[in-house]
Structure 1
Amino acid sequence: MFKNFVSVVILFLSFCSLQAQELVSPNGNFKIKFALANDGTPSYQLFYKNKEVVKPSKLGLELQKDAKSLLNDFKIVEAKESTFDETWKPVWGEENSIQNHYNELAIRLKQNTTDRDIIIKFRLFNEGLGFRYEFPEQKNLTYFIVKEERTEFAMTGNHTAFWIPGDYDTQEYDYTESKLSEIRGLFKKAVTDNASQKQFSDTGVQTSLMMKTADGLYINIHEAALINYSCMHLNLDDKNFVFQSHLTPDAKGNKGYLQTPCVSPWRTIIVSDDARDVLASRMTLNLNEPSKIEDTSWIKPVKYVGVWWEMITGRSSWAYTDEVPSVHLGVTDFTKTKPNGKHAANTKHVKEYIDFAALHGFDGVLVEGWNEGWEDWFGHEKDYVFDFVTPYPDFDVKGIHEYAKSKGIKMIMHHETSGSTRNYERHLDKAFKFMNDNGYEAAKTGYVGNILPLGEHHYSQSILNHYQYVVEKAADYKIMINAHEAVRPTGICRTYPNMIGNEAARGTEFQAFGGSKANHTTILPFTRLMGGPMDYTPGIFETNISKVNPGNNSQVNTTLANQLGLYVVMYSPLQMAADLPENYNRFLDAFQFIKDVPVDWATSKYLEAEPGYYLTIARKDKKSNDWYVGNSNGYNARTATINMDFLEKGKKYEATIYADAENADYKTNPQAYKITKQKVTNKTKLQLKTAAGGGFGISIKEIK
């Protein structure tokens, strides 16, 4: 009798230990607890330095047309722990090498009434948590439709958040700083006009979401490896401060179509008591697979200029003529129309940009508006809008290619789809072959307007699969992709490093559409850039847009020195000097910083940071011993302290400092800057005043 009782106790204790699992990060700072409730509902809890960061939060998926969803009635059948530690080298990036070190807990669950298996896999890094759902191949779960993912992120209080409205079609919003409880009341004001947009809830926000707790913890929620799935937003229960995942639907309202074996994207939570650690995290990249492109020698970081800003400001036109009310490709004869005199993508003008790029050491030139169809490209949900191979009569494709090649300049082709994903795929092979034949090594893709087929969204599963298809097809032709208006990146550039740039946020163009908030670029590195680099297109020197186009009274809400600092702050292997050549010629001394600053780095140091207020970053050039420092400042003028201890001991350097002048202000005196030089060592500490909306750039070169 006693022996039987002992056996029952041992079995009971074994069952209890299996029902609750714990995992600790390699450095011991993080701990997760996994548990099953009495009804078999899985949940997790996250701690940082013994402090609760995420309260017990439910996990699971609700299925469409299925009597039994993957929400409860589970038992744990296996729990496996493992450790992984490697160092890998990115093709391009913020450093030469990245450590990928985590402890893993894989919990296999079986649903009692359906005999279905799922695995919830947790990876704890030294900077946070990644977890995902895995669906093994099995008889009782093959094809299934996701009605909604029910992942929760239960916050411990009414945190301060830096958020943009949850939207199925755009991230091109200014950020709002508020308490979680205030999101509902501020939501309508936060929604501003865009070419395509669809909100789902007045407490819905987008990832990457940055928060700060009352006791000084920084929390970032995002996702990684978003492939063959729908983009995740967060819907807030603002009474209990619980976020629940909200996936982007398709035209039918379904959130995803899956076939086992398959996996979800990783859900990520990065936490620190130092904001600089959030910026330094490479967890998102580490949760993606290694490069699938074996030969990456053709993938090169690019600094470029382009025929773009003059159209954005309204000074010039993408369209060739004003005489054609509608275009029928292959039928409309543009040689018989009268040019409007404003078409910027003409041979003579493009050659002027090529000359400017060659004179100042840039790698490439982007040209928008070169191809037929711009007369009626937007607002008509038009399917066959561009063919991506037919130039306007005034754009000599071969002649420009030969001229650029003679000057050592690479041309960047623009592929605007007007949201017609079917049409782009219809022409894709022909378009990429056309690029190969004419010496174009990179394409800027665009998805302005509502997505076709109608009813789909920019962030739904099938459209995300389209973006992925374009990147993979481009790799077949050795073409780099810079996607605009596509989904925000989630580290996939590790797997496909030809995805050299993305927009997917409110970029510089909005400075010509009425302006962005003066602290915008103090937030973006903590939000949008957590998933990958942004083609932000900085470098605007003429901040009064009416001086470029008298009909546009917009103001760039930064100082000129801030624009220089962005080349370091807003990391990208694809950097544009976005202003007009004539404006750079007016400020050649300041333009020197843009000419000098690299686009590929050996290491990066985060010197000071507070989301929404300021950040200062130092980066070392991959090809030399030179360092560059960039700062972006928010609304409040302040003094930045720069400790130069990142420099090599025993060596002397000369620092060229491009800073705000004493009387600089983004509203009243944005072009006031000063340039000074001084000798520095690793013991030097600089103090630099930054204006409201200001910043600085510093180039540091070794004295030999």
Structure 2
Amino acid sequence: MKHLIYLAVLCFGMAACGENQQTRYSLQSPDSEIVVDFELIDGRPAYRVAFQGKEQISTSFMGFEFQDQPELGLNLEVSGVDQNTVNETWEMPWGEQREVANQYNELRVRLNETSGAGRNFHIVFRAFNDGIGFRYEFPKQEALSGDVIITEEKTEFNLTGDHKVWWIPGDWDIYEYLYTTSKFSEINAYEQFIPGDHLGQVYLHSNAVNTPLTMKTDDGIYLSFHEADLTDYAGMTLKVDTTNLSMVSELVGNAAGIKVKTTAPFVTPWRTVQIADRAGDLIESKMIVNLNDPNEIGDVSWFKPMKYLGIWWDMHLNRRTWDYASGNHGATTEYTKEFLDFAAEHGFGGVLVEGWNTGWETWTEPDMRDTIFDFTTPYPDYDLEYLANYAKSKGVQIIMHHETSGAVARYEERMDTAYQLMNKLGIHSVKTGYVGTIIPEGEYHHGQWMVNHYQKTLEYGAKYKVAINMHEPIKATGKRRTYPNAISREGVRGQEYNAWAGEGASPPEHLPIVAFTRMLAGPIDYTPGILNPSLLPYKENHPIKTTVAQQLGLYVTIYSPIQMAADLLEFYRGNPAFEFIKEVAVDWEQSKVLDGEPGDFLVMARQERGSENWFVGGMTDENPLDYTLQLDFLTEGTTYIAKIYRDAADTHYLDNPTAIDILEMEVTKGDEILVNMAAAGGFAVSLLPKE
């Protein structure tokens, strides 16, 4: 793989303004479309961002509040600047594409206090063609000796208009909300915050939103605010000022009021703003992973991207249970063998088994959560060692499940033993879960203590060759580059909500929003592939707001290197739509957003890694969409067999969701395919070179 890294002198402007010396430094993206200006205004650090000659982030100040120290960011001077340019290409071991271009210009501003303790720190800016990132770096110094306790980071993001925004509340514990679409001035997180509405602890500190936060300006510019390389630090929410159209970072703390406890030297995560004039460019951007360090754990060939089945949907349909005492236990040896046989027959790589270990009878009881799970003891009707060997004989693997019920301290005491067991049995992936209030008490899912715990799972996984699929996680921030055993995570209102009673089913616009918000952070374990959207006979009057064609399209539009076929086996047997799930790839040579708009629709094409096979998926909201697929992305001179799965003329997501047209034709580059999408519908197309 070719790597090209070089230094260059960038152009920086310096201007003296009036009596106060104000020195400004300008940094451009490699294509010169994005400009970041940094300056000190009366000793306060501030930045601005412009795109295509127009300001997108107006003057925004930066600083910190510490425990037992004065605020940092009021009386500063520039002690020096460094410039750097990087242009490299690196290869993903798995991912949306094989090769990733990492090209940026960098400006490092070294700052000193002119009075008081004389503290010093650096602000590092990187300008990419698809956005900007910046972080704070604190060298080792006498003025910051011992423990450093940050009580707030004060990074502003001041907007230039009342933009259209897709947002969820800045909950400190969970991201499983429906997105609200509104003007920025209309954000009211408290209206969407419902205490007790989730199994996890739910806490909202202020009128804040979680990231990724995506916006669209009146000029048609798309902005997405997030963070990258969240390591040994608190997760960041954004506190909104709807009057002044501004946001400021608000870190997740704990009951003691501590946001971050650290020692110098230390660095913060990158604060990121993706910028594009086409919505699809946000999805195609790799800026978040590029702001993380290269692979630190070496070869991960023991993990293979795969499609998997699981003993999971049964429980959400109340058809079987997680616990053994009910008499209707799902995770039995015989039922697992049925899944393993089906997986082997149809080319699936794994079978997830939930409810295999003792303790599920009392897993949500407050007085019991901290004592029940040991992650090594199966129920008497589940022979773990036998099943692991049986799976291996079939060319399939068991996917382990570790639900901690929020008792994280207990889990940490047992992790080494649990991960050793997986390694011994040849189990190379685990789905972790953190439902419930965090133990130790006073910590939150998105705070520094839990950020460090999630990091420990990756380190244990690397040690014992286990890939981690986190549920109830900290948000993805590109760590998968450094730890490529971080394969996927939840962090979204997922498919299970569609199986729960009441108003649980997500509206049709949900996934077309998720693709342009949550998916910008990283892979999503959404669990698609429900071919019985009515949920009958297991749930009455509770259809999923989707069509079968859309469920197929999700394997392309919602990315994960592990994709579940989540429905019951009975709805796959003999179903012609299941053929696409069997055929579609999960690891990609390249990915292209062909068309889309947040909250409305998305059409994506992906080329299977190491082959000439292409797969295309589409999905739309509650509005039907006439759509013609243009095959301009195919290889010139190659004839493909296209197999098309599209909504039928009479498909309706409530009344007739399983109606689907399946047809086959020969196509070449430049041809067109009519794939009109019904309300809450979609399509899927496989394109395989003709032999």
Q: Which residue of 1 aligns with 2:657?
A: 670
Q: Which of 98, 107, 114 is equivalent to 1:112?
A: 114
Q: Which of 170, 180, 183 is equivalent to 1:176?
A: 180
| Distance in 1 between residues matched to 2:557 and 2:304, nearest whole Å | 20
1:194 equivalenced with 2:198 (yes/no): yes
Q: Is the 8 A contact 2:615 2:684 kept in 1?
A: yes
Q: Which of 644, 648, 651 is equivalent to 1:657?
A: 644
Q: Which of 82, 85, 97 is equivalent to 1:83?
A: 85
1:529 equivalenced with 2:531 (yes/no): no
Letter in 2 for 1:544: S
TM-superposed CA distance for 1:299, in Å, is 2.3
TM-superposed CA distance for 1:553, in Å, is 4.4
| Distance in 2 between residues matched to 1:253 and 1:228, nearest whole Å | 17
Larger helix share, 1 or 2: 1
Rate the CA distance shift 1:652–1:14 in 2: closer, same or farther, 3 A.
farther
Mapping 1:585-604, distance limit 5 Å: 585-587=573-575, 589-604=576-591
Q: Is the 8 A contact 2:78 2:111 kept in 1?
A: yes
Q: Which residue of 2 aligns with 1:312?
A: 316
Q: Which of 99, 102, 121 is equivalent to 2:101?
A: 99
Mapping 1:454-469, distance limit 5 Å: 454-469=441-456
Q: Is the 8 A contact 2:308 2:564 kept in 1?
A: yes
Q: Is the 8 A contact 1:100 1:286 kept in 2?
A: yes
Q: Which of 564, 567, 592 is equivalent to 1:576?
A: 564
Q: Which of 385, 390, 407 is equivalent to 1:398?
A: 385
Rate the CA distance shift 1:625–1:600 in 2: closer, same or farther, 3 A.
same
| Distance in 2 between residues matched to 1:400 and 1:502, nearest whole Å | 25
1:265 equivalenced with 2:266 (yes/no): no
| Distance in 2 between residues matched to 1:543 and 1:235, nearest whole Å | 38
Question: What runs of 5+ residues in structure 1 fail to find an aligned partner?
Answer: 1-9, 322-339
Q: Which of 315, 332, 347 is equivalent to 2:333?
A: 347
Q: Which of 189, 195, 209 is equivalent to 2:213?
A: 209
Runs (4 or more) in structure 1 with deviation over 3 Å come to 10-18, 189-192
| Distance in 2 between residues matched to 1:530 and 1:388, nearest whole Å | 32
Kindly provide the CA deviation profile for residues 381-408 of structure 1, in whole angstroms up to 9, marking residues without a partner as x. 5212200010101001122122212211
Local SS of the residue matching 1:526:
coil
1:632 equivalenced with 2:619 (yes/no): yes
Letter in 1 for 2:110: R
Local SS of the residue matching 2:607:
strand
| Distance in 2 between residues matched to 1:109 and 1:176, nearest whole Å | 40
Mapping 1:608-647, distance limit 5 Å: 608-647=595-634
Q: Is the 8 A contact 2:636 2:669 kept in 1?
A: yes
Local SS of the residue matching 1:690:
coil
Indicate the percent of aligned positions where both proteins have the same amino acid.
Answer: 45
TM-superposed CA distance for 1:554, in Å, is 2.8
Mapping 1:16-165, distance limit 5 Å: 19-38=23-42, 40-66=43-69, 68-113=70-115, 114-142=117-145, 143-165=147-169
Local SS of the residue matching 2:468:
strand
Q: Is the 8 A contact 2:303 2:429 kept in 1?
A: no
Kindly provide the CA deviation profile for residues 29-50 of structure 1, in whole angstroms up to 9, marking residues without a partner as x. 0001111111x11110000000
Q: Is the 8 A contact 1:562 1:693 kept in 2?
A: yes
1:227 equivalenced with 2:231 (yes/no): yes
TM-superposed CA distance for 1:260, in Å, is 0.9
| Distance in 1 between residues matched to 2:648 and 2:409, nearest whole Å | 51
Q: Which residue of 1 aligns with 2:687?
A: 700
Q: Which residue of 2 aligns with 1:565?
A: 553
Q: Which residue of 2 aligns with 1:500?
A: 487
TM-superposed CA distance for 1:189, in Å, is 4.1
Rate the CA distance shift 1:361–1:395 in 2: closer, same or farther, 3 A.
same
TM-superposed CA distance for 1:191, in Å, is 4.1
| Distance in 2 between residues matched to 1:86 and 1:62, nearest whole Å | 37
Rate the CA distance shift 1:623–1:64 in 2: closer, same or farther, 3 A.
same
Q: Alpha carbon RMSD of aligned pairs, Å?
A: 1.7
Letter in 1 for 2:74: N
Q: Which of 439, 446, 450 is equivalent to 2:437?
A: 450
| Distance in 1 between residues matched to 2:41 and 2:202, nearest whole Å | 36
Rate the CA distance shift 1:16–1:101 in 2: closer, same or farther, 3 A.
farther
1:509 equivalenced with 2:496 (yes/no): yes
Letter in 1 for 2:509: N
Kindly provide the CA deviation profile for residues 103-146 of structure 1, in whole angstroms up to 9, marking residues without a partner as x. 00100000112211110000000011000011011111133111
Local SS of the residue matching 1:369:
coil
Letter in 1 for 2:328: K
TM-superposed CA distance for 1:586, in Å, is 4.9
| Distance in 1 between residues matched to 2:157 and 2:430, nearest whole Å | 38
1:377 equivalenced with 2:363 (yes/no): yes
Rate the CA distance shift 1:11–1:214 in 2: closer, same or farther, 3 A.
closer
Letter in 2 for 1:530: L
Query: Greater CA deviation, 172-181 or 377-386?
Result: 377-386
| Distance in 2 between residues matched to 1:74 and 1:439, nearest whole Å | 56
Query: Greater CA deviation, 26-35 or 133-142?
Result: 133-142
| Distance in 2 between residues matched to 1:374 and 1:100, nearest whole Å | 46
TM-superposed CA distance for 1:640, in Å, is 2.2
| Distance in 1 between residues matched to 2:616 and 2:281, nearest whole Å | 18
Q: Is the 8 A contact 2:169 2:192 kept in 1?
A: no
Rate the CA distance shift 1:492–1:247 in 2: closer, same or farther, 3 A.
same
Q: Which residue of 2 aligns with 1:3?
A: none
| Distance in 2 between residues matched to 1:190 and 1:457, nearest whole Å | 16
| Distance in 2 between residues matched to 1:563 and 1:466, nearest whole Å | 34
Local SS of the residue matching 2:295:
coil
Q: Is the 8 A contact 2:623 2:679 kept in 1?
A: yes
| Distance in 2 between residues matched to 1:156 and 1:239, nearest whole Å | 12
Question: What runs of 5+ residues in structure 2 fail to find an aligned partner?
Answer: 1-13
Kindly provide the CA deviation profile for residues 22-70 of structure 1, in whole angstroms up to 9, marking residues without a partner as x. 11110010001111111x111100000001100101111111222x111
| Distance in 2 between residues matched to 1:243 and 1:18, nearest whole Å | 24
Local SS of the residue matching 1:103:
strand
> Number of residues paired by the alignment?
671
TM-superposed CA distance for 1:199, in Å, is 3.8
Letter in 2 for 1:270: Q
Letter in 2 for 1:111: E
Local SS of the residue matching 1:110:
strand
Kindly provide the CA deviation profile for residues 158-216 of structure 1, in whole angstroms up to 9, marking residues without a partner as x. 111111111000000111111111112x7424647111243435631110001111111
Letter in 2 for 1:76: V
TM-superposed CA distance for 1:650, in Å, is 1.1
Q: Is the 8 A contact 1:19 1:75 kept in 2?
A: no
Q: Which residue of 1 aligns with 2:9?
A: none
TM-score w.r.t. the length of structure 2 is: 0.95
Q: Is the 8 A contact 2:15 2:23 kept in 1?
A: no
| Distance in 1 between residues matched to 2:109 and 2:606, nearest whole Å | 40
| Distance in 2 between residues matched to 1:502 and 1:461, nearest whole Å | 18
| Distance in 2 between residues matched to 1:166 and 1:665, nearest whole Å | 35
Rate the CA distance shift 1:46–1:379 in 2: closer, same or farther, 3 A.
farther
TM-superposed CA distance for 1:607, in Å, is 0.2
Letter in 2 for 1:403: Y
Q: Which residue of 2 aligns with 1:330?
A: none
Letter in 1 for 2:363: W
Q: Which residue of 2 aligns with 1:7?
A: none
TM-superposed CA distance for 1:360, in Å, is 0.7
TM-superposed CA distance for 1:543, in Å, is 1.1
TM-superposed CA distance for 1:18, in Å, is 7.0
| Distance in 1 between residues matched to 2:461 and 2:570, nearest whole Å | 34
Kindly provide the CA deviation profile for residues 515-553 of structure 1, in whole angstroms up to 9, marking residues without a partner as x. 112121111121111121011110011112242x24x64
